[in-house]
């Protein structure tokens, strides 16, 4: 079956309704019923609870509490690298931005301007730059961390579709990451700007940042912007910056000549938060 045919049902499903339902269920505190769902999830996806700060399933009052669980001390040591991987997951794609085009999958690319909600001036900063797209599967740790130290400049909520973001959908839905709901976070660093985009997906109940809390819901159906240029939101390399309540994807952008990726990286490869992602150029 072709990837486009495989994703056809997603065009027909009531994705927003399913996502709203999933969000309500994930936040509900249902006692033994919640714990039974968590146990089944752990068994189904092979979640390694020994890495959790609290490995006891019965200690989680809601599915969201479990899904955004903290890791035990030392579970993700930071590599001695200029840039570290911000999440656990699998590398979808990474490499050079061709003028303004980001490679999604064979036969598909999308523009930085589309990803960044039509902000042409911001997109221009990343022309011929570099990008990395990392997919978080259900079994992964779902907190997002800083690849390097940075100061937040602004945040943009962009409404959009709620397609799945798994590899099959990335191959089958054109412009997936620039058409799904997303939260765009723009940082300034000692080596220039970088952008970290949290991409929503079907049944991703919400996305949150450490400085704002839950960004969605609500889903207002329009772009919302927050300016932090004059507010001291500074985060160290490896610090938590946000989290997904149910899994998704992150897209990172850097200007031309900023970094050289880890030579061990390859599309489809598994990565863990804190591993070496790249070294600075210049």
- The answer to whether the beta carbons of residues 128 and 99 sit under 8 Å apart is yes
- Residue 132 has what pLDDT? 98
Indicate the SS3 state at residue 265. Answer: coil
DSSP for 7-58, please give it: THHHHHS-HHHHHHHHHHHHH---THHHHHHHHHHHHHHT--GGGBSS--GG
Any idea what the Cα angle at residue 255 is, between residues 250 and 258, rounded to 5°? 95
Q: Would you give the DSSP letter of residue 120?
A: H
Give the active site residues: 88, 145, 248
- Residue 173 has what pLDDT? 81
- Residue 113 has what pLDDT? 97
Q: Tens place of pLDDT for every residue, the chain, 282 residues?
A: 566 666 666 565 555 666 666 667 778 899 999 999 999 999 999 999 999 999 999 999 998 899 899 999 999 999 999 999 999 999 999 999 999 999 998 778 999 999 999 999 999 999 999 999 999 988 899 999 999 999 999 999 999 887 777 778 778 788 889 999 999 999 999 999 999 999 987 666 578 999 999 998 777 789 999 999 998 899 999 999 999 877 689 999 999 999 999 999 999 999 999 999 999 997
How many angstroms separate the CA atoms of 152 and 69, rounded?
Answer: 24
- Residue 12 has what pLDDT? 56
């Amino acid at each position: 079956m072709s990837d486009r045919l495989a994703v056809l049902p997603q065009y027909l499903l009531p994705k927003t309704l399913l996502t709203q339902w999933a969000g309500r269920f994930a936040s509900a505190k249902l006692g033994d019923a919640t714990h039974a769902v968590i146990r089944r999830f752990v068994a189904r996806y092979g979640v390694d609870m020994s890495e959790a700060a609290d490995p006891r399933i019965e200690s989680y009052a809601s599915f969201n509490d479990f899904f955004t669980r903290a890791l035990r001390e030392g579970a993700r040591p930071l590599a001695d690298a200029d840039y570290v991987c911000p999440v656990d997951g699998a590398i979808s794609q990474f490499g050079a931005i061709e003028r303004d085009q980001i490679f999604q999958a064979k036969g598909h690319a999308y523009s930085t301007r589309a990803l960044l909600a039509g902000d042409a001036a911001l997109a221009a900063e990343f022309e011929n730059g570099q990008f990395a797209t990392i997919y978080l599967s259900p079994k992964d740790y779902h907190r997002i961390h800083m690849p390097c130290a940075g100061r937040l400049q602004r945040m943009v909520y962009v409404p959009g579709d709620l397609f799945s973001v798994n590899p099959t959908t990335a191959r089958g839905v054109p412009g997936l990451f620039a058409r799904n709901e997303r939260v765009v976070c723009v940082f300034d660093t000692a080596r220039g700007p970088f952008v970290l985009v949290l991409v929503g997906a079907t049944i991703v109940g919400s996305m949150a940042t450490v400085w704002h809390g839950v960004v969605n819901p609500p889903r207002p159906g329009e772009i919302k912007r927050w300016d932090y240029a004059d507010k001291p939101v500074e985060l160290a390399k490896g610090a938590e910056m946000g989290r997904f309540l149910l899994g998704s994807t992150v897209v990172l952008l850097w200007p031309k000549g900023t970094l050289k990726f880890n030579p061990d990286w390859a599309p489809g490869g598994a990565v863990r938060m804190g591993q070496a992602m790249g070294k600075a150029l210049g």
